Amino acid sequence: MSELSSLKPERVFKYFEEIARIPHGSENMTAIANYCVDFAEKHSLKVIKDEANNVVIYKSATAGYENTEPVILQGHLDMVCQKDESTEIDFMKDGLELFVDGDFVKAKGTTLGADNGIAVAMILAILESDNIPHPPIEAVFTTDEEIGMVGALALDMSLLKGKRMINLDAEEDDTLTVSCAGGSDFRMIVPLKRKTVRGSKVIITLKGLLGGHSGVEIDKNRVNADILAGRFLNYMKSVCDFEIISIDGGDKGNAIPNNCTMILCTATPDIFMSSAIDYLDIIHGEIGDREPDFIDNICVCEESEYDVIESEIKDKLIFTLLCVPDGIAQMSAEIKGLVESSSNLGILKTEEDKIILHFTLRSNKKSALQFLEGRLSAFSSCISCETECSGHYPPWEFKENSELQKLFKECYIEQYGSEPKIEAIHAGLECGVFASGIEGLDCIAMGPQLFDVHTVKERLSIFSLKNTFNLLLEILKRMK
């Protein structure tokens, strides 16, 4: 018998375990979508699956709720697939191995996928039941949320009649989420010309910085390795001649880069080494308290001929890294402590004929996001580089006088004896996509306590899941 089979609420954990057995990483959605369709057909519920593998399941109201407005219950089907070095798994074919550790459900050697499989499991348990009071339900399971809300953006919102929505993709059980950021990906593409010079190759590596999520941790005062590299190069330009062969830092647009490698060429390696060591010591002294694990490494290699970036492009690149907007752009005037707008240079990549700078832009206001894009476009025009802007997803702006917010607070206070935290987050939720596609949508986001999501340490609190599920049922019961 499975360890999870005895956990309460039993049906939620039953469905969560079934979901875990099905490979459902982003861009591998067919099997999990078909599972949801099969569930609906088994329980004689109307179901629609679209070309993006989004699934919408409809359930009629229970007795006494026939004349109430529908409620949308929403979660996403995909998970982030990560494993530790000792675990052998093919995420395209293999399921997860779950186990119980005290109050926690975990997966052996991999991410758990409770983000957002536990939402799907809760909704399926409600759809299955005959004795849970509720209004008409439109259960929406979207795909590829983790790689840009692809499914939600492709969903035909006319399939939904509800104007009330509960998103179950939050990760703190004492918090009601009421707003989230929208975002886009902005790329600056600097064409390269190269020349051949003779000198010693020098490799400088900056690493060990904290990095982190470019939304929720952009206000944590963490050092961006790419921006730090620009600062270093700008200083070195004033004390020593050198050329740039390549510079590369970060591999995800939505993460603050924690490492950067510069490969340079200089005719005076001794002077370069001495000056670089002195300046990096100054940097260590400046940022050591907030970046305790930061280390650098300088390696001087053989003298030879190297293809380097032409000087004009080199100067343009250093200027860009020194001056481009990065980090917090604006704090919210309405919500205390909320970062309203930010930009993050997440990827700096040198290719043979170009350098790519990839920014993730975020804002909780649509107009402010457009301003960030315009700002980078104006900057780019001054250095004569190409630009691309893609991956737009809308913000979910705070709604005054929300009946759902009021109902959640009432139920929460009765269950816990204290008030919930009310939070707007500087990260993306699918609520923004739905709010932009359904006029007048009243929406909240809630969920059980999860820890270390997107890592192999991901875990779900069993006690929290029970309380959160009971809270959700009480909210549905009062939605007359």
> Are residues 133 and 98 part of one domain?
yes
My answer on whether 332 and 425 are in the same domain is: no
Active-site residue among 17, 78, 173, 226?
A: 78
Q: Go through the chain and tell me how many residues it has.
A: 480
Each residue of 456-467: pLDDT tens digit?
999 999 999 999
CA dist 17 and 28 (Å) reads: 18
Percentage of the chain exceeding pLDDT 90 = 88
> Are 219 and 328 within 8 A, CB to CB?
yes
174 & 197 share domain: no
DSSP, res 396: B
Domain of residue 117 covers 3-181+396-477
> At 166, phi and psi to the nearest 5?
-115, 110
Question: Alpha-carbon distance 465 to 173, whole Å?
Answer: 8
Verify that 147 and 99 share a domain, yes or no.
yes
Residues 28 and 90 in one domain: yes
Percent with pLDDT over 70 in the chain? 100
Among 338, 366, 384, the domain-final residue is: 338
Q: Whole-prediction pTM value?
A: 0.80
In a domain, 380, yes or no: no
User: In this structure, are 168 and 22 located in the same domain?
Assistant: yes
Whether 373 is covered by a domain: the verdict is: no
**Active site (annotated) includes residue 145:** yes
Q: How far is CA 182 from CA 87, 386, 434, 444, in A?
A: 35, 24, 12, 16
* Distances, alpha carbon 75 to alpha carbons 151, 352, 369, 382, 396, in Å: 11, 42, 25, 43, 16
CA 477 → CA 60, 132, 367, 434, distances in Å? 14, 8, 38, 23
In a domain, 369, yes or no: no
What confidence score (pLDDT) does residue 6 get?
72
User: CB within 8 A of 94, min separation 6: which ones?
Assistant: 23
User: DSSP characters for 422-446?
Assistant: EEEESS--THHHHHHHSTT-EEEE-
Does residue 432 sit in the same domain as residue 472? yes
Q: Is residue 370 part of a domain?
A: no
End of a domain among 289, 309, 338? 338
Among residues 145, 243, 430, 442, the one annotated as catalytic is 145
Query: Residue 1 has what pLDDT?
Result: 43
Domain-located, residue 138: yes
Catalytic residue list contains 388: no
CATH number, residue 277: 3.30.70.360
Tally the domains of the chain.
2
Contact 43, 125 (CB under 8 A): no
348: in domain: no
State phi, psi for 404 to the nearest 5 degrees. -65, -40
Closest CA to 348 of 257, 242, 263, 233: 257
Average pLDDT over residues 186-191: 96
414 and 319 belong to one structural domain: no
Quickly list DSSP for 137-180. Answer: EEEEEES-GGGTSHHHHHS-GGG---SEEEE-----TTEEEEEE
Are 246 and 323 in a shared domain? yes
How far apart (Å, rounded) are the C-alpha atoms in residues 402 and 404? Answer: 5
Q: What is the pLDDT of residues 406-455, one digit of tens each?
A: 999 999 999 999 999 999 999 889 999 999 999 999 999 999 999 989 88
Res 3 pLDDT > 80: no
Tell me the CA distances in angstroms from 283 to 41, 232, 374, 381, 474, one per residue in order.
Answer: 62, 9, 32, 31, 54
CA distance 250 to 237: 23
> Angle at CA 192, nearest 5°, toward 186 and 194?
160
Per the listing, tokens 């740039």 go with: 244
Q: Are residues 173 and 205 in the same domain?
A: no
65 and 159 assigned to the same domain: yes
Query: Mean pLDDT across the stretch 463-479?
Result: 98
Asked if residue 112 is part of any domain, the answer here is yes
Whether the CB-CB separation of 463 and 448 falls below 8 Å is answered with no
CATH code of the domain covering residue 15: 3.40.630.10
Which of 190-199, 210-219, 360-369 shows the lowest per-residue confidence on average (mean pLDDT)?
210-219
Whether residues 66 and 26 share a domain: the answer is yes
Task: Kindly state whether residue 48 falls inside one of the protein's structural domains.
Answer: yes
Of 338, 360, 378, which residue constitutes the final position of a domain?
338
From the list 194, 307, 202, the residue with the least C-alpha distance to 265 is 202
